[in-house]
Amino acid sequence: MASKLSLLTALLGLANAQRPGSTPEVHPKLITSRCTLKDGCKPATNYIVLDSLAHPLHQKGNNFNCGDWGQAANATACPDVESCRDNCIMEGIPDYSKHAVTTSGSDLKMTMFNDDGNFISPRVYLLDETEHKYEMLHLTGQEFTFEVDARKLPCGMNSALYLSEMEAEGGKSDINPGGAYYGTGYCDAQCFTTPFINGVGNLDGKGSCCNEMDIWEANSRATHVAPHTCNKPGVYLCEGEECTETGVCDKPGCGWNPYRVNITDYYGNSDDFKVDTSRSPITVITQFPADPATGKLKAIKRMYVQDGKLIKAHEVDMPGLPKTNVMDDEFCAATGAEHYLRLGGTVGMGESLSRGMVLAMSIWWDEGGNMKWLDSIESGAGPCNATEGAPSFITTVEKNPEVTYSNLRWGDIGSTFQAGCAVKRRRGLSSN
């Protein structure tokens, strides 16, 4: 759910393109870590690339673009895929700060507006050390941990950190020579139509589908974890009924949100909550334990560390629901996630995590729905009223909403965090 309809508005008028122009592309460096129980966490070098939609686009010889989000490629510039490659020029971005993205060491800061006051709402992907491929994360049987500063994310905001089953090279080919270096190849479970799919002209207006794992969708008031399965591996071009909610991908997802199970004192922006976002950054841990016998994903579990103390996952204890502190098929069935189960469920999500997924990070708001699905009293998802999430109201509370993701690290379960349960972690019991 990291790419909702409001994002379409933010990106309207922009489009993917494949042929790089003369303006250089300069990726910000980001230090991450790989962790094992034996050796601890070791630093690694990665880079950040903005989605190709954010790159300046023009047709060869003029300033017209090659199509709008939600539509097929421009018919004049793109009568065929070879012409698209030749006629659509995508320039590089030499200064990411102009696009509201900055890094420093292991910190990645993203804001809704740049320093000039221009609306941006950026989305970026994690590149590997070569800068020409995405970093592929294989997280079945592993855990992913990061710190986040959510203090400047009021009701209606969404800082999203999630995984997409994109291709490692972003669909790089003779038709798409730019590839991952220019942020091409995006897909998710919402199956949006874009002018280019994997960097190739989308002449028939098909949707771009793939498995999606929303590790973190949150503001300072509410938080949401949601796997979205598809019954097709990798990037899939859908059309017609395949693109709908009853098609090849699970659009709603199976959601893990404490408010939705009537736990209202777990996550919020004061010391009344177990996880207090007013004292950010907080450490966010997401575990993907596998069945020892089969190697298949058996559950998804969320925990936090704050003030050096481990904050265990909230425990569901509500009539009609299983008593549990993990998201698994039993929980998803009890909460009505029928499409998730129909399209693969937890095992299917684990198969995508095993094949490898790309890390995406963004910050956005919801022009049409005020992000009520994430944090509103009306939807049972949080403490926010029906109007607090309106962008016009958000900027009266926080002039320039921002999020900082820090110290991204992944590896063996129990290896990526420190808290007052070190003995348990060394024994590999943190996922129990």
Hey, which residues are catalytic here? 212, 217
Alpha carbons 210 and 363: distance in angstroms, whole number: 21
Alpha carbons 356 and 379: distance in angstroms, whole number: 33
What are the distances in angstroms from CA 161 to CA 149, 277, 290? 13, 17, 22
CB 74 within 8 A of CB 66: yes
Q: 10 Å Cβ neighbour count for 115?
A: 11
Q: 10 Å Cβ neighbour count for 135?
A: 23
CB 183 within 8 A of CB 50: yes
Q: What is the DSSP letter of 263?
A: -
Amino acid at 410: W
Alpha carbons 381 and 98: distance in angstroms, whole number: 34
DSSP assignment of 118-140: -B---EEEEE-TTSSSBPEE--T
CB 89 within 8 A of CB 59: yes
Q: What are phi and psi of 430, to 5 degrees?
A: -70, -15
